[in-house]
Structure formats: C-alpha cells, structure tokens
C-alpha cells in the first residue's frame, strides 16, 4: 500500500498533523503487512468506529474499547482534554488539536 502521506507533515507531539498517523505508525509503515496498513487507515477514518467523538460528534476509534490491550493514542504525548467532557476518547483529528500536557 502506498503511504497515506499528504505532504502536510508536522510532528505534533507524536502525531502527524497531516495524515493523523502516529510517529510509530509512520516509522514502521514500510515494515507493516498490507493488512496492518489497511487497519491503521480504517482506524484513522474510523471505519470500525467504537463511539462518537464527544467534541465533533464524528465516528472515532478506541482500540481499548475494541478489546485490545493497548491503543494507538498510547504512542503520542498526553493531551490536555476538557475536564467537563465524558471519559470517552476523542477522534484523531480533535485529539491532534489539543495542547500537550
């Protein structure tokens, strides 16, 4: 699979502001099997959404909610999220806009 890079790269505390992949996903991209690449792209697009983002109401993916032991967001720097929002993960787009702690 071709890289999903859209040439708007900026390392935003462990996450690319352009394609919304984590730096780990980007650095390992060429080594991933095609099914792994497709799964990452499905997560970014929230094709198999586990919930709605509490901020933008768009589909969002949480690997923990999907039954995995870790989540993609563990690879980025912690973000400062609103304390009045429920304890539900933000989508990659909204999370990328949050300031780091």
Q: Vertex 53, ends 33 and 5: CA angle to 5°?
A: 35
User: What is the pLDDT confidence band of residue 21, given thresholds at 50, 70 and 90?
Assistant: very high
Mean pLDDT for 59-66 is 90
In sign, the C-alpha dihedral spanning 39, 68, 17, 96 is positive
Find out whether 75 and 22 touch, Cβ atoms under 8 Å. yes
For position 83, what pLDDT does the model report? 56
Kindly report, residue by residue over 33-54, the tens digit of the pLDDT: 999 999 999 988 888 899 999 9
Taking the whole predicted model, whether its pTM rises above 0.85 is answered as: no
Angstrom CA distances, 1 to 27, 29, 92, 96, stand at 15, 9, 21, 24
Q: What pLDDT score does 2 carry?
A: 80
Q: What is the dihedral of CA 61, 54, 83, 74, to 10 degrees?
A: 10
Predicted pLDDT of residue 46? 86
Q: What is the mean pLDDT of the chain?
A: 88
């Amino acid at each position: 699979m071709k890289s999903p890079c859209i040439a708007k790269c900026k390392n935003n505390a462990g996450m690319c502001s352009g394609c919304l992949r984590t730096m780990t996903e980007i650095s390992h991209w060429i080594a991933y099997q095609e099914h792994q690449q497709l799964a990452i792209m499905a997560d970014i697009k929230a094709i198999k959404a586990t919930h709605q983002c509490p901020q933008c109401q768009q589909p969002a993916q949480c690997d923990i909610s999907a039954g995995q032991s870790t989540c993609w967001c563990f690879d980025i720097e912690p973000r400062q999220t609103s304390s009045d929002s429920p304890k539900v993960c933000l989508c990659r787009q909204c999370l990328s806009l949050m300031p780091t702690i």
